[in-house]
Amino acid sequence: MTKRIRKAVFPVAGLGTRFLPATKSMPKEMLTVIDKPLIYYAVEEAKKSGIEEFIFVTGRGKEAIEDFFDYSYELNAILGKRGNQEDLDAVNALVLDPGQVVYTRQQEPLGLGHAIWCARHLVGNEPFAVLLADDLIVSKKPCLQQMMDFYGTVGGNMAAVMDVPKESTSGYGILDVEGPQKGPLMRARGLVEKPSVDVAPSTTAIIGRYILTPEIFGELEKKHKGAGGEIQITDAFQRMLPSYAFHGCAFEGERFDCGNKAGFLKATLALSLARDDLKNVTLEFMKRIKE
Ligand code: UTP
């Protein structure tokens, strides 16, 4: 039986080049889907899954993220004076308690594996979650919670996975799945980061939710460079096999890749259609532009 997952790491130190020029002076994770920044959805998912400690790996120019999760004294005072309870509730819905949130810096964006390694002292010796804000997941039960429900039985390293079109495998970490799949869990006998279509071992792709064993820090410490010259987390999973099993968890829900423009647009439309105050106006507009 593995330990309970109490801590989550949010790597937010990337450059977000696919959203330039917007991300020149604004963190990608603060891009807003309707009225909440991407990082809000990820932190909300972690909180709903029972996470108690929130560790952000930030970088230069990411201060807006720290301010967002802080108590805004001036704004609260003004809204309070105006008696605007609805806005006050919205502003304070996801303020993290003192001591519940910590920030560390990745000084250079050397890759996701390196960003996670930067959190090693804050995580310590216990399994932990990692959430990438670019992946916005809409589901009944939070995706991370779904993974936690299985993690206790398998341990090792785990990531949320989904089936992707064959021509898209070069954008993901891909599993070489072992044996017949039992339920939503699939064990990997190998993994490869961003394989070209002709060598991809499957179409089962890793997306941005992980539960990791703390032993991964020892592997990341070696700072092996992989695809794109970056320190890739998928390569660490591969090197830790077979001593540390890797499982993909096929979650229930819809994932939007908000790290690219098309995915971001789809998320905005899907969430608008799910809201009473925006559904009709969105549908009417879509009908009009279709004509
Ligand atoms: P991405 O590779 O999607 O983000 O990393 P990016 O590099 O910022 O985006 P592009 O490709 O230039 O547009 C997924 C997550 O990992 C973080 C990013 O901030 C993002 O939330 N990340 C990535 C780091 O924290 N450090 C890194 O070195 C790389």
Model confidence at 1: pLDDT above 60: no
18 lines ligand 1 (CB under 6 A): yes
Structural domains in the chain?
7-259 (3.90.550.10), 261-291 (no CATH)
186 lines ligand 1 (CB under 6 A): no
32 lines ligand 1 (CB under 6 A): no
For ligand 1, atom 5: residue with the closest CA: 14
CA end-to-end span of the chain: 58
At 93-151, the pLDDT tens digits run: 888 888 999 999 999 999 999 999 999 999 999 999 999 999 999 999 999 999 999 99
For ligand 1, atom 25: residue with the closest CA: 13
Torsion angle of C-alpha atoms 184, 189, 190, 191, degrees rounded to 10:
10
**pTM of the predicted model as reported, rounded to 2 decimal places:** 0.95
Helix H segments across the chain? 38-48, 63-68, 73-81, 85-92, 112-117, 120-123, 143-154, 216-220, 233-240, 261-273, 279-290
- Relative to the CA of 58, which ligand 1 atom is closest? 25
133 lines ligand 1 (CB under 6 A): yes
- Relative to the CA of 19, which ligand 1 atom is closest? 13
Predicted local distance difference test score (pLDDT) of residue 187: 95
At 175-201, the pLDDT tens digits run: 999 977 778 999 999 999 999 999 999
173 lines ligand 1 (CB under 6 A): no
Please list the residues that pair with 211 across neighbouring strands: 129, 158
Are the C-beta atoms of residues 193 and 111 closer than 8 Å to each other?
Answer: no
109 lines ligand 1 (CB under 6 A): yes
16 lines ligand 1 (CB under 6 A): yes
At 207-219, the pLDDT tens digits run: 999 999 999 999 9
Radius of gyration of the chain (CA): 19
CA distance 146 to 160: 9
